[in-house]
């Protein structure tokens, strides 16, 4: 949460924030925010995504906003902007290509994390939320299901079923530190596996992403 004396708060493109951003002069979102944003000016840049509540004197949306917004003065929606939900504003300016709708749509999950882990040769290591995590404003952790494919040099396993490759696991499993990668003992210095995450409606995070594994 930003302090009342804050100037500009920037959410970087590779950053996901779940919670509140409040009482700053300007909030610029290049990444993902799920929660409440309160600032004098808010800019959601192209590729940025905000889900929840937005309160500002002025706002520009070139990415995606979904939820409840109260904009005292001007809301500007750029040509790449997509705004949906319960929106109140003093004035509206919308470029050709921008979208404004009262319809709230299902939001597909998004993957974050550094997608890198280190494992001892022939051993196992827990996959942390810093390594891999998924965010989705309209799904619970147990509804977010990861699918594992193309494992090389080892396999993903779940606590209670050690030494057995797991084809799927959930965000809830990750949050409970129940997911690990086990190396197969081979001579290579690297291993890897691909993951994609889906919500209960079947919407996915897109193309599978590779988790790179360093073997020590």
Model confidence at 4: pLDDT above 80: no
* pLDDT value of position 6: 63
Reported as a single tens digit per residue, the pLDDT across 117-141 is: 999 999 999 999 999 999 999 999 9
Pick the closest to residue 114 from 128, 94, 93 (CA basis): 128
Mean confidence (pLDDT) of the chain = 94
Distance in angstroms (rounded) separating the CA atoms of residues 148 and 158: 12
Model confidence at 76: pLDDT above 80: yes
- Give CA angle at 16 (142, 28), nearest 5°: 145
Model confidence at 179: pLDDT above 60: yes
More confident residue, 123 or 103: 123
- Give CA angle at 140 (137, 145), nearest 5°: 105
* pLDDT value of position 103: 85
Reported as a single tens digit per residue, the pLDDT across 25-73 is: 999 999 999 999 999 999 999 999 999 999 999 999 999 999 999 999 9
* pLDDT value of position 3: 40
Model confidence at 2: pLDDT above 60: no
* pLDDT value of position 5: 45
Model confidence at 157: pLDDT above 70: yes
Pick the closest to residue 27 from 108, 53, 105 (CA basis): 53
DSSP-based three-state secondary structure for 173: helix
User: Is residue 1 very low, low, confident or very high in pLDDT (cuts 50, 70, 90)?
Assistant: very low
- What is the token pair recorded at 128? 């942390």
**pTM, two decimal places:** 0.84
Spatial contact of 156 and 166, defined as CB atoms under 8 Å apart = yes
Distance in angstroms (rounded) separating the CA atoms of residues 181 and 119: 8
Domain ranges of the chain: 8-101, 110-215
Which architecture characterizes domain 110-215 according to CATH? Sandwich (2.60)
- What is the token pair recorded at 163? 């030494």
């Amino acid at each position: 949460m930003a302090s009342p004396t804050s100037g500009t708060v920037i959410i970087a493109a590779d950053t996901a924030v779940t919670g509140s951003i409040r009482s700053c002069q300007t909030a610029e979102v290049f990444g993902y925010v799920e929660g409440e944003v309160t600032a004098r000016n808010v800019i959601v840049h192209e590729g940025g995504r905000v889900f929840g509540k937005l309160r500002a004197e002025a706002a520009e949306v070139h990415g995606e906003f979904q939820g409840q917004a109260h904009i005292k003065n001007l809301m500007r929606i750029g040509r790449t902007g997509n705004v949906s939900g319960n929106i109140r504003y003093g004035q509206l300016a919308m470029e050709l290509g921008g979208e404004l709708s009262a319809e709230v749509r299902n939001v597909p999950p998004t993957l974050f994390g550094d997608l890198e882990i280190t494992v001892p040769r022939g051993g196992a290591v827990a996959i942390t939320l810093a390594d891999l995590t998924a965010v989705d404003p309209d799904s619970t952790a147990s509804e977010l299901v990861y699918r594992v494919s193309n494992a090389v040099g080892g396999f993903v396993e779940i606590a209670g079923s050690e030494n057995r490759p797991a084809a799927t696991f959930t965000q809830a499993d990750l949050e409970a530190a129940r997911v690990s990668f086990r190396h197969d003992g081979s001579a290579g210095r690297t291993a890897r596996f691909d993951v994609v995450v889906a919500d209960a409606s079947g919407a996915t995070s897109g193309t599978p992403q590779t988790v790179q594994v360093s073997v020590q």
